[in-house]
Chains A and B, each alone.
Chain A
């Protein structure tokens, strides 16, 4: 792990205004990287950019809808013109909205396209936008963010499972296609993570109801509790750094053991009865 620092690197992270994306942005900034934060809403990305600047790194917030390839191309062009280069791309933007228990015949064309476009097509657009630049300079790191639901089926979650499964195959295809150009492409599979807490000890005050829900659902995870955003951020740091230079096409789960067993994405037979919602 001798090269886990990211001094003088430039990272673009989509969905970087909140949650996991913000945690990854701050972890990489702490390790020395300058950060370009992209998401649709300007408020959160400007806040992330301010916190990056507070860590002594350069930061840029670029309002971007990843489902629109013109905006994605603009994001990469702006990064290159403002920051001078780009080393690391983290495709984190995604939505879980528009799924749930709805029967398949009630899913509209728009809902399907929104789910696929945000979670899969957005990552494809970003990779396409950096491709020629990365290939020309013969280096680059791409980190995609998928889900255990991209590896196992979940009842009723059509768009999310399909899109995240697509992200995993996009990772592998890009990895073997770009390997000879020294571009590393890997994928993070977060388990159930309470994204509000960056560190377990910094857990903000939450209502007793929310705390009870998180504790009850944590029983379904082999380690017995939710992860925190830092669990994912440190994995991103490892994959962004030179320490992982021989690693490409890998699917890296940080999920409290869920995918190691069982037949669900939580992979655990808890000792409490399963209740239908």
Chain B
């Protein structure tokens, strides 16, 4: 049961992007807290399954097939969500394209694809959904990104740049809209998996790199999204909160 302080009863949420199949778990958490949800991502069987739990909980739940790299489709996504749910109180950006290659081998096309998928898509969705939130004088934007927004990684130049870009967008937008009733925060994710993969990793690597010694489950991102989406966070904006099992506290 969700404490009343964190209740999202009567609110609506748009979860945009589902590259890692986490959106279902984020949507489940939002629905459990009381929100109606829309999930937008490239059309897939997974997307169709993603709203089952929210519907079982009696919430309105819709899916909107969307290519997040296409600005006109992102525009349609937001308009569709507003048409279906009546409004957008909460925007969760969950786009993510993993990419690793030695720096000199990255083509211009590849670089562009990573920026389009991870950074530009969020620029589009914040701009379109932000217009609705500005006229409502209230809104919550939560960007789910990687902790690599703040740390470098060999062969990760394009990915790290794209994630760092979203983090800086989060901070700058938080300040720009601070007096408009809109909060903008980011969640930094570490190692997550839908299934328990602990056994697949050797003990030394887990001990050395992952203090909690287990992968997170995507539902554990969902609980932080609910906190940041709730009415308890009026004073929390422009922040980068880690959900990472202690990864970023490590040297």
- A→B interface (CB under 8 Å): 1-5, 27, 31, 171-173, 175-176, 179-180, 182, 191, 193, 222-224, 227-228, 230-231, 234-235, 237-238, 241, 243-250, 252-261, 267-268
Contacts and interface: CB of A to CB of B under 8 A. Distances in A.
B27 to A, nearest CB: 13
A261 B172 contact: yes
Contacts of A176: 211, 246, 249-250
Most buried by A among B32, B170, B207, B249: B249
Contacts of A268: 175, 178
B238 A257 contact: yes
Contacts of B250: 172, 176, 249
A256 B178 contact: yes
Contacts of A238: 6, 224, 227, 232
A244 to B, nearest CB: 7
16 contacts: A3-B223, A175-B211, A175-B246, A179-B211, A179-B213, A222-B238, A243-B224, A244-B224, A246-B212, A246-B220, A247-B245, A252-B241, A257-B237, A258-B238, A259-B238, A261-B171
Given A176-B211, A180-B211, A249-B211, A223 B243 contact: no
A228 to B, nearest CB: 8
B84 interface: no
A2 B223 contact: yes
A113 B170 CA distance: 39
B72 interface: no
Contact of A2 (B2, B172, B245): B2
Most buried by B among A193, A227, A243, A258: A243
B5 A245 contact: no
Contacts of A227: 234-235
B245 A248 contact: yes
B159 interface: no
